[in-house]
């Protein structure tokens, strides 16, 4: 969420959806869990404290340490000593604070976008493909056919996948309106 790269590339998420849907379900759940984790008051206060600690160090560097530093170099061609310009404050602590606030906004947007993109795809697959496959198996049983052990296992697997998606979707509908807010 916090980095520049995608949570999962679209290609990887498509592969999970087609081949190993549990991986995509886990990915969506992990992103939601990370948002909830960062919303925890103790975790949020640690995030803020770390941001403030770094801002304090940047402020000290920018306003105290660097102005005291004098850089001299010797121009070898002319043998003349050159003084570098005296450091002037760059507002590094404020830049850091702005960067962290902006990065948190981007992290949340990336997380919400990931869930809002892939959870509906999982839901569609569950509602149409998996439910249809499960209905066909159930109809065969209702017609008096005996399912093979593999077909019985498939039925259990489809039921499990559908249940996971339904539960995950219900939790996202409950959680999204109150999801993680920027602590910075």
Please give the pLDDT value at position 5: 86
For residue range 79-98, list pLDDT tens digits in order: 677 767 788 899 999 999 99
Question: Domain locations in the chain?
Answer: 10-178
Please give the pLDDT value at position 4: 83
For residue range 135-169, list pLDDT tens digits in order: 999 999 999 999 999 999 999 999 999 999 999 99
Average pLDDT, the chain: 92
Please give the pLDDT value at position 105: 94
Query: Among all chains, which residue has been given the structure tokens 């005291």?
Result: 68
Contact in structure between 70 and 83 (CB atoms under 8 Å)? yes
Task: Decide if pLDDT at 77 tops 80.
Answer: no
For residue range 113-124, list pLDDT tens digits in order: 999 999 999 999
Task: Decide if pLDDT at 75 tops 80.
Answer: no
Q: Which of 4, 19, 30, 3 is nearest to 119 (CA)?
A: 30
Return the bridge partners of 31, or none: none
pTM of the entire structure?
0.82
- Report residue 3: phi and psi, to 5°: -80, 180
């Amino acid at each position: 969420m916090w980095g520049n790269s995608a949570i999962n590339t679209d290609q990887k998420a498509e592969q999970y959806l087609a081949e190993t849907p549990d991986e995509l379900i886990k990915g969506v759940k992990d992103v939601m869990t990370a948002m909830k984790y960062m919303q925890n008051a103790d975790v949020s206060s640690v995030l803020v404290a770390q941001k403030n600690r770094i801002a304090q160090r940047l402020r000290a560097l920018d306003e105290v340490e660097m102005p005291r530093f004098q850089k001299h170099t010797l121009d070898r061609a002319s043998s003349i000593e050159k003084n570098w310009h005296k450091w002037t404050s760059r507002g590094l602590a404020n830049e850091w604070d702005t960067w962290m606030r902006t990065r948190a906004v981007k992290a949340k947007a990336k997380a919400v976008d990931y869930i809002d993109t892939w959870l509906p795809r999982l839901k569609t697959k569950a509602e149409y493909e998996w439910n249809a496959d499960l209905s066909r198996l159930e109809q065969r049983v209702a017609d008096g056919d005996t399912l093979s052990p593999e077909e019985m296992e498939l039925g259990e697997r489809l039921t499990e996948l559908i249940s996971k998606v339904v539960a995950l979707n219900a939790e996202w509908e409950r959680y999204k309106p109150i999801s993680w807010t920027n602590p910075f």
